Structure 1
Amino acid sequence: MWRPDGWDVRVRIGVLTPHADVGPESELRAMAPADVGIHAARVPFGGMRRGGAMDATIPLEPVRAFAEPPYVDDAAAVVAAAPVSAVAYAFTSSAYVIGADGEARMIARLTERAHGLPVVATCAAAVRALSALGVSRIALVDPPWFDEELNGLGAAYFRRAGFDVPFHASCTLPSGQALIRPPELHDWVARHVPDDVEAVVVGGNGFRAVGAIEAMEATLGRPVLTANQVLLWAALHAAGGDTAAIDGYGRIFTLRAA
């Protein structure tokens, strides 16, 4: 007689996402078990227009501005007022632009605005996941709307974190969130990622990628980390949740956060 209504969850996670981007919520909800609540706060992002429209490549200034006060700080305070146990910053490219030190300062600032709740961010979560996997040599694949400069900043971010990045590129699929299909992403990665890397990192929280993780890992024989995947992994650990129930979205969910 009684149907599930979403109330009986063991943990809730607040998500900071660009105002016109449905990618982070879609992928997080797809991966999360039914007893994990996902609750988004939308943050203005100058690189997106109504309906999620974007230019073929996103300019760096709106990317940098997304990580700065006041909008994302206010959103963190608002979503943290809900009964959530952690806050997840669902935006990859700002960390590329401001670097790991800037990202760390942003996390500290957002933690304060979130009333002391743990805040996790995508790129820092990817570093933790790579460390948990014990890999040091990676390939970085970014969305087609990341231009060469932004992709290069991403490679620099991971190199400064201690990883060797012999291959990095923005994939040459059609540049538009709604145009990406998991089979095409799988095939592009399989064709381009070299054999001598130990793991693949797929950047971009608005990049449709989690549906291809299992197939990419099977084809490549190596772990694949995507933006929303590592964000959920880190957020669940920060919230005291369990990732063991997540199956089919990558081997990282079998590991504890460092």
Structure 2
Amino acid sequence: MTALGFLYPGHAAEDDYPRIEQLLGSDIRVELVHTDIGEDARRADTLRGAGSPERLAAGLEELRLAGAEAVVWACTSGSFVHGWEGAHEQVRGLALAAGMPASSTSFGFVHALREIEVRRVAVGATYPDDIARLFADFLRAGGAEVTAVHGAGIATAAEAGAWGERELFALARAADSPDAEAVLLPNTALHTVAHIPALEKELGKPVLTANQVTAWQCLRLTDRRVNAPELGALFTREPVVQV
């Protein structure tokens, strides 16, 4: 049994995680602890505050007691808003406080792109334009080429959490560009897990979403590989054979 630990900001799309657990199989357990986000606003200052060391540390004891083997800060904007170096510092501090491997959703996107061997991407973000551009900058720092950025202008996690299938597909279509090899949909407040195969079929390319890559990143930290086609192309690649 492998226990995956997640620190999830507030309440929005956390019900994606029981679905992920179901799709991953019986020997994977998902442990999720909610963190305090303070003000629910997609601004750089409030997002930096949501991922402060004090707020993240508050949930770690519960994850340790649950037997988590790794922890991921399940927030995209609350990590990339610190910039490339600042986000590294954030997860280093989290790992030290947790006493286990740690990462964040933002780094999950970067590593997932390397996993599926994709460089050119389009971004469909629920965020305001200025926050969406910060995510694009983060991806570029990680080696990606961002061909298009579409921001939907949503100012709160609560609004994003209320989106349904229609809004999600409209966002993905608006973001896609012909030269993009994959479409990225950040924001762990957005319900996506039930729709990834359909999104990939419609767009004809891999779709990476925040809660999906968060789970994959935590599995990566525990050296687990799980074949789960219902979680999209990211979960269907064969392990690389080292010669």
Both structures adopt the same fold (TM-score exceeding 0.5): yes
Q: 1:26 aligns with which of 15, 29, 44?
A: 15
Q: 2:212 aligns with which of 229, 233, 241?
A: 229
1:5 aligns with: none
Give distance in 1, aligned partners of 2:128 and 2:171.
17
Instruction: Say if 2:78 is the partner of 1:94.
Output: yes
Unaligned 5+ segments in structure 1 are 1-9, 49-56
Q: CA deviation at 1:178?
A: 4.3
1:45 aligns with: 37
Give distance in 2, aligned partners of 1:43 and 1:237.
23
1:130 aligns with: 113
CA gap 1:257/1:161 in 2 versus in 1, 3 angstroms: farther
Give distance in 2, aligned partners of 1:140 and 1:31.
23
Q: Deviations over 1:92-137 (max 9, x none)?
A: 102221012111111111111112x111210101101101111111
Instruction: Say if 2:66 is the partner of 1:82.
Output: yes
Give distance in 1, aligned partners of 2:142 and 2:77.
16
Task: Kindly report which structure 2 residues correspond to 1:1-258, keeping only aligned pairs within 5 A, or say none.
Answer: 10-18=1-9, 20-23=10-13, 25-32=14-21, 33-35=24-26, 36-48=28-40, 58-115=42-99, 117-143=100-126, 146-171=127-152, 176-244=159-227, 246-255=228-237
Unaligned 5+ segments in structure 2 are none
The TM-score with structure 2 as length reference comes to 0.88
Q: Deviations over 1:44-80 (max 9, x none)?
A: 10233xxxxxxxx522212001222212123224422
Aligned amino acid, residue 71 of structure 1:
R
Give distance in 2, aligned partners of 1:174 and 1:58.
5
Aligned amino acid, residue 110 of structure 1:
L
CA gap 1:155/1:42 in 2 versus in 1, 3 angstroms: same
Give distance in 1, aligned partners of 2:111 and 2:4.
19
SS at match of 1:207: coil
SS at match of 1:248: helix
SS at match of 1:70: helix
Give distance in 1, aligned partners of 2:239 and 2:90.
21
Aligned length: 235
State whether residues 234 and 257 of structure 1, in contact with CA within 8 Å, keep that contact through their aligned partners in structure 2.
Answer: no
Q: CA deviation at 1:181?
A: 1.0
Larger radius of gyration: 1
Q: CA deviation at 1:86?
A: 1.3
The TM-score with structure 1 as length reference comes to 0.83
Aligned amino acid, residue 170 of structure 1:
G
Q: Deviations over 1:1-26 (max 9, x none)?
A: xxxxxxxxx211111011x3141x31
CA gap 1:174/1:17 in 2 versus in 1, 3 angstroms: closer
State whether residues 12 and 190 of structure 2, in contact with CA within 8 Å, keep that contact through their aligned partners in structure 1.
Answer: no
Give distance in 2, aligned partners of 1:84 and 1:47.
28
CA gap 1:155/1:30 in 2 versus in 1, 3 angstroms: same
Aligned amino acid, residue 247 of structure 1:
P
CA gap 1:41/1:178 in 2 versus in 1, 3 angstroms: closer
Q: CA deviation at 1:174?
A: 10
